[in-house]
C-alpha cells in the first residue's frame, strides 16, 4: 500500500488539553494520530472529536474483544468518529472478526470505511505467559497463525512488533496493512521498549505505518522531531 506519511503519533495522556495541543503541534508533519484507551476512558468520543479536530487520520486503539454481536455494535458506535484505523483482538476468533468487518462496511455508508487492525499477541506476553493461559508453542508461531486468521476473517491488517514485520509481510502479501510500534530513531531514548527498530529499518522490513510516541511527544519541538524522522524515510 502506498502511504504518503507513515508516521502515526501516539498521544498517550488522559489530559484533553495536552492531547489537543500535541495534535495541533504535529498536524501536517505526521500521517495520523493514535488515541488509545487511556484517552478514550477519560474523555470518550466527544473528547476524540475535540482533541483531534481537523485531523482526518485517527487511529483509535481500543483493542476490542467481546462476543461478535457486541464487537459489531462497538464498531458501529465509533463509526461516527470516522477513524482511519481501529484495533480489535484477533484472539476473539474468526466469527468476531467477520462480524466486525461487516459492521465496518455497513457503517461506512458512503464515508471512508475504517480499516480494522488485529492485535495478535501483546508484546508484554512471553512464552511462559502464553503457556499459563493454555497456549503452547513459540510465540512467533502463534503470532503468524493469528495474523493469517485475521486476514482470512476480513481484517485489513495487524499491529506487529518490529521483529515480526518481515515474516508477516512474506506470509500475508503486499496488500495486508502492517502497523508497527516499538520504533526509535537512532540516538533516542528507548524507554520501556525492549525490542526496537529505527523508522527506516521498519519501513525497509515491510511496515506500512509506524507508531511513534515519546520520541515525538516528549521532544522540545514535536513538529521538528516528526519532520526529522520523516526526512530519514524513503
The window from 89-97, 130-138, 141-149, 207-215 that contacts ligand C5P (CB under 6 A) reads 207-215
Residue 223's Cα: distance from chain center in Å? 21
Contact 29, 230 (CB under 8 A): yes
21, 63, 115, 152: the active-site residue: 63
Active site residue 152: no
Nearer to ligand C5P, 39 or 176 (CB): 39
- Asked if residue 212 binds ligand C5P (CB under 6 A), the reply is yes
Gap between the Cα atoms of 215 and 222, Å rounded = 8
Question: Shortest Cβ distance from residue 108 to ligand C5P (Å)?
Answer: 26
Q: How far apart are CA 184 and CA 150, in angstroms?
A: 27
**How far apart (Å, rounded) are the C-alpha atoms in residues 132 and 128?**
6
Distance of closest approach, residue 229 Cβ to ligand C5P, in angstroms: 11
**181 counts as binding ligand C5P under rule CB under 6 A:** yes
Minimum distance of ligand C5P from residue 119's CB (angstroms): 8
Using CB under 6 A, which of the segments 135-143, 148-156, 166-174, 212-220 binds ligand C5P? 212-220
- Which residue's CB comes closest to ligand C5P? 213
Q: How many residues bind ligand C5P (CB under 6 A)?
A: 14
Q: Contact, 41 vs 14, CB < 8 A?
A: yes
Query: Would you count residue 139 as binding ligand C5P (CB under 6 A)?
Result: no
Q: Is 87 among the residues that bind ligand C5P (CB under 6 A)?
A: no
Q: State the binding string over 118-137 for ligand C5P (x if CB under 6 A, else -).
A: -----x--------------
Give the catalytic positions in this structure: 63
Give the binding site for ligand C5P (CB under 6 A): 10, 12, 36, 123, 159, 161, 181-182, 191, 193, 211-214
Amino acid at each position: 500500500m502506498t502511504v504518503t506519511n507513515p508516521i502515526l503519533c501516539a498521544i498517550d495522556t488522559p489530559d484533553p488539553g495536552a492531547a489537543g495541543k500535541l495534535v495541533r503541534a504535529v498536524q501536517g508533519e505526521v500521517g495520523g494520530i493514535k488515541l488509545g484507551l487511556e484517552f478514550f476512558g477519560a474523555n470518550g468520543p466527544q473528547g476524540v472529536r475535540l482533541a483531534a479536530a481537523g485531523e482526518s487520520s485517527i487511529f483509535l486503539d481500543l483493542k476490542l474483544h467481546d462476543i461478535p454481536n457486541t464487537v459489531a455494535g462497538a464498531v458501529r458506535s465509533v463509526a461516527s468518529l470516522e477513524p482511519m484505523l481501529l484495533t480489535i483482538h484477533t484472539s476473539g476468533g474468526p466469527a468476531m472478526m467477520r462480524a466486525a468487518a461487516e459492521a465496518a462496511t455497513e457503517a461506512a455508508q458512503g464515508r471512508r470505511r475504517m480499516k480494522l487492525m488485529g492485535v495478535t499477541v501483546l508484546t508484554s506476553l512471553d512464552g511462559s505467559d502464553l503457556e499459563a493461559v493454555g497456549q503452547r508453542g513459540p510465540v512467533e508461531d502463534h503470532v503468524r497463525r493469528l495474523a493469517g486468521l485475521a486476514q482470512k476473517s476480513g481484517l485489513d491488517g495487524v499491529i506487529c512488533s518490529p521483529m515480526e514485520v518481515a515474516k508477516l509481510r512474506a506470509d500475508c502479501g503486499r496488500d495486508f496493512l502492517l502497523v508497527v510500534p516499538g520504533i526509535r530513531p537512532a540516538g533516542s531514548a528507548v524507554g520501556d521498549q525492549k525490542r526496537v527498530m529505527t523508522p527506516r529499518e521498519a519501513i525497509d522490513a515491510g511496515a506500512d505505518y509506524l507508531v511513534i510516541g515519546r520520541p515525538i511527544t516528549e521532544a522540545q519541538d514535536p513538529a521538528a522531531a516528526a519532520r526529522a524522522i520523516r526526512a530519514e524515510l524513503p
